[in-house]
Chain A
């Protein structure tokens, strides 16, 4: 009985045909996952923070705590 001749050519092409769509798909999934679990919440967190941010109030608080060198706390 004679054996079937094995595939001698196109092995890489066959592998790529199978694996490249998977690779692209997984990359897109990873990117989408990162976007919606990390970047969107982070953008929202920054938006929320600055919505209610009073920079003068924060500045005064920091000044009173004494962390600045250009302005002293109001007591001094």
Chain B
């Protein structure tokens, strides 16, 4: 270990010297040398790469080591125990602005039903370029595993979510980050990728390993290329949907084994900051749990001169009033997470807790302890919301007990929730195992504005959709979609994809129905519990909903993280994505216990056909001669020998 450390610092030393040399040469090479360790990027990584390949198993460990160095350097040089042999590296080569940045944030929204919604967002920004041919090998805040995925597979954007439970829009309002039940993955590849399907296959397998999830079950039968519903969320100039892949696994069950690798991607792990609250025994004892990773390129400034990679890790959870809250309308951090907050993540440039108090301006609905003087306003989902803010980087927040345990205590259960303007539902109609009908209901709750909605349906091939039975009705009238993109399924190859743009009239329900036929599969194609049914992923409703207040179109200005996820192009409307329920559909099943019997019986019938025809074809009619008995024949032989005529 000591030898290794020595070797490492020697390499650092050499590289630092090299970089100084390069600076003096006036080359254009970008230096990442921020306030501590000499950073490495760009062309001179040959030695580094060689070392990396030689010590592949130690990757994780080294990443942490580097992080520790970084963490230690701004505070006290004395705390630095590791790099004592190379004191030169501690001298900052005069770069003021760090190239990466980490923010963490927790939003708590008390819901009218008495439940509570907590949403964590962790954002890492890094100004680097994974794509420029050279290998990025020095990682500080950005997780190396994901960085390598981005550069290896030429990913432009990656969005992955794991969700347990269904978000009840009509009870809870719109979530900050929508996600369908199960796993969802959508990826935009760079336009330099030639074999998109092959890359996608490899990527899903790699992600499956990173997140300990069954993403390797994503194959061509559940992957689609939506033409309009999933536009890149970061900066992009390419919107050719050949480079987009979208897949859902509605049956995926999310649990601790998915949470642990997710937490490991955080710079502070679960050791400090907001992440200490993420204890799986509480998080999974909830009515809704959703964790996600979003990677995309974003603009650094208004003119978009520099771009950086954004990694957002989000985790949303809804605690139930009765199961988690014991029926008492009183929530505290301790009650929710069985932990309290004691510090911010030292690597974070900002670490805040927001409590939504919009419905509680005078404190008549609930009471917040400890109170905070800091208030913040943000436009979220077309509505101006007010938040109480607790800044964890300030020591004063933690008070004398050096621990923050927020307490929200209801005073009255009055009040009304702002009805979500867009809402979707879906169910299967019909009976029997032969045919059925999928009904999708889309609610426009806006009193006087109509708006268009993009509906995306991806249905597995074994439900054979009949597109000629598609009807769209709103207010008992036919509502012809202005755009339909339909890709029929291929058996065992690809699913159905139905995308359409429907204008929802104000204050109405629009019903989309389409009939399907259930296929009989081969017996090996059924799941181990075939009579449980087959899941069909959620439909996705994407829409620009008219906003009550002017939306903020400047994406680069400082805003709370939860309000800045979907880019906003115009002030009068905001983007909403709503997922409907996944469907559970029963298929007819063969009898799994008797393949041998079926093979034998069918072959017998074929043999009966063959045999009877063979008989008639090869034989001819003859008169039946009665054959003599054995005794008579022997007697005849004896008589013949005796010279007597036979019997």
Query: Are A and B subunits of one complex?
Result: no
